[in-house]
Amino acid sequence: MTKQTEQKDTSAQFALNRRQALQLGGGLGFVATMGLGAKPVFAQDEDTLTIAIAGDLGGWDQDYLAFDLIGLAVMKNTYPYMLDYGVREVDGGQIQDTETVVPTFAESWESNEDGTVWTLGIRQGMRFPSGNELTAADVKWSKDRAFAAQANVAGIYRIIGLTEADQVEVVDDYTVRFHQSQPSAMTSQIQIISLYVFDSQLVQEHATTDDPWATDWVNRNPPLGGAYNVVGYEPGQEIVLEANPDFPLGEPPVQRVRLPIIPAAANRRLLLQNGDVDIALGLPRRDIDDLRSAPGITVISAPSNEFVFVPMSTVTPPFDNPLVRQAMAYAVPYDQIIASVYNGDARRSTSPVPLDMPGHSDAGYPYAHDPDQARALLEQAGLADGFDTSIVIVTDNVEQERIAILLQNALGEVGGRAEIETVDPATLQQRRRDRTIPLQVASGQMWVNDVEYLLSVALTEGGFLNYANYDNAEVNALFGQLNGLLDPVARQEIFMRVQEILAEDVPWLVLCQPNFGLPVSGSISGWVQPVDGLFRLRYLER
């Protein structure tokens, strides 16, 4: 017994020593880890800006990248773009002006008299980081590549009558002509989107017989020569950009921009609050509202062209009846949606043509919340007993969810019964294509701020974004008339007539245009609200 006790004592002594040793070792490890890791996480100096983004980009080849807003935004800053929008001031904030074209790497941009031939003059002496000069040959090669890809640029060029590579002509080293098959009022806007240029000599060095356009190489190697150059890229982790001192409009004020990829919105917010990042992109509206009162943080607000709407399938009962669609327009509690979903920080939409789009008219949507009128119209449509339907929203979208609940209640008020269906993005796109969505909450911004473009992609038969499956013969005919028409007065008349028809037909419930809110650390200024959702870093200062 005694012996056993002694043994236990010994082992206790041993255990104590081991524990002490472990504590000591663990403590040292902890101290070392904490001490060395406690350095500033992102270099915080005057010349560096850190912007938390939500995800990595899908690749570096802009000719193929679609629906990747992060990728496109980064590339907007790193590809040499020939043209860009101007900037105008609205309510103390700066937004892009789609009616002004600013040549960037280009020197001039002008058309012939009938608007079919556009001549691009390129600045002389502009060089890519490789040392190669940017010339007309680069522009031509880049657009030849886009036609060969038959993807993003080729799709949008079709709208302005550019369908073949030989419509792009090199006149001399610094002049390129675009020969359109017809004039278009949208040419400049579409070229602002499309005129990015590859360092063609460099890229061609990586072309192979199997891959003549070097798609593999381009997809892996960040483009260089824009307002910023990519100097670091750790996939999934961070993109680092450095200002291009030779940017034609002047070297961007911020020398270095770090874009750490932080998927969780809660963490992007935390990093901003802790001062580890200067800007947090893509925060939910509730977080942005909370941050308005956070110390050291400013929320930049700007009117936005993003619009929120509810397409009603015009081929699906009961919404194939215009009376029902009108009833829906009366049933929606617009002010309540703006107040409770957007905390009042949104503008009420008054037409399917977004506010601020040239040609917008309040006549496009003469509806207000009026449940009695809605009930009367439903009765007239033979639906006095109500109807069943479903509202489809996409997963992980709190705003859509809240709107859908308010719509569900509003429908209930007038006798409708709606079920809310949440689907993932792929299913949503499939169902849109299969035309199996009666009601859906949607939002977006038109990349080309023009009614003709809106009609082409969203309100005529065959349009990829025509979620309402809308097909009105007169609207189609008016859209046809816009094709090639440059006279602003004649265009305006057509825009008005289209909106009158849309007001009768009501393919969409148009809800609102939420203002853009961007929480930034107090020292940041210069934000210019992009009309295409793609930030321009060159305006930012700290």
Pick the closer one to another protein by CB: 41 or 137: 41
Q: Cβ of residue 382: shortest distance to another protein, in angstroms? A: 32
Q: How far apart are the first and last CA of the chain?
A: 77
User: Do the beta carbons of residue 178 and residue 168 sit within 8 Å?
Assistant: yes
User: Do the beta carbons of residue 482 and residue 455 sit within 8 Å?
Assistant: yes
The 8 Å CB, 24+ separation contacts for 496-502 are: 496/359, 496/361, 496/363, 498/353, 498/451, 498/455, 499/351, 499/352, 499/353, 499/361, 499/363, 499/364, 500/363, 500/364, 501/472, 501/474, 501/475, 502/351, 502/352, 502/364, 502/365, 502/459, 502/475
Pick the closer one to another protein by CB: 46 or 113: 46
Pick the closer one to another protein by CB: 65 or 355: 65
Pick the closer one to another protein by CB: 59 or 93: 59
Between helices 473-482 and 451-458, what is the axis angle to 10°? 130
* Residue in 353, 356, 355, 374 with CA at minimum distance from that of residue 364: 353
Pick the closer one to another protein by CB: 261 or 331: 261
Structural tokens at position 359: 């040609």
Helix or strand run (H / E) with residue 298: strand 297-302
Q: Cβ of residue 500: shortest distance to another protein, in angstroms? A: 26
Pick the closer one to another protein by CB: 117 or 465: 465
Between the CA atoms of 327, 333, 334 and 339, what dihedral angle is there, to the nearest 10 degrees? -170
Q: Cβ of residue 11: shortest distance to another protein, in angstroms? A: 5
Phi-psi region of 254 (alpha: psi -120 to 50; beta: other; left: phi over 0): beta
- Phi, psi of 425, rounded to the nearest 5 degrees: -60, -40
Phi-psi region of 134 (alpha: psi -120 to 50; beta: other; left: phi over 0): beta
Q: Cβ of residue 386: shortest distance to another protein, in angstroms? A: 29
Structural tokens at position 194: 């499309």
Between helices 322-331 and 371-380, what is the axis angle to 10°? 160
Pick the closer one to another protein by CB: 156 or 383: 156
Q: Cβ of residue 178: shortest distance to another protein, in angstroms? A: 17
Q: Cβ of residue 130: shortest distance to another protein, in angstroms? A: 23
Q: Cβ of residue 240: shortest distance to another protein, in angstroms? A: 8
Pick the closer one to another protein by CB: 205 or 424: 424
Pick the closer one to another protein by CB: 41 or 501: 41
User: Omega of the bond prior to 223 within 30 degrees of 0, cis?
Assistant: no
Pick the closer one to another protein by CB: 260 or 416: 260
Query: What's at 355, amino acid-wise?
Result: L
Q: Is 99 helix (H, G, I), strand (E, B) or coil?
A: strand
Q: Cβ of residue 236: shortest distance to another protein, in angstroms? A: 3
Q: What is d(CA 484, CA 59) in angstroms, rounded to the nearest whole number?
A: 35
Q: Cβ of residue 416: shortest distance to another protein, in angstroms? A: 26
Q: Cβ of residue 28: shortest distance to another protein, in angstroms? A: 11
Site residues for another protein per CB under 8 A: 3-4, 7-8, 11, 14, 29, 32-34, 36-43, 52, 56, 58-59, 61, 64, 66-67, 150-152, 155-156, 158-159, 215, 219-220, 235-238, 240, 258, 260-264, 266-267, 270-271, 273-274, 276, 424-427, 429-433, 447, 456-457, 462, 464-465
Query: What's at 183, amino acid-wise?
Result: P
Q: What is d(CA 353, CA 428) in angstroms, rounded to the nearest whole number?
A: 24
Q: Cβ of residue 33: shortest distance to another protein, in angstroms? A: 5
Pick the closer one to another protein by CB: 346 or 442: 442
* Residue in 207, 60, 212, 198 with CA at minimum distance from that of residue 139: 198
Q: What is d(CA 317, CA 527) in angstroms, rounded to the nearest whole number?
A: 46
Q: Cβ of residue 142: shortest distance to another protein, in angstroms? A: 17
Pick the closer one to another protein by CB: 240 or 279: 240
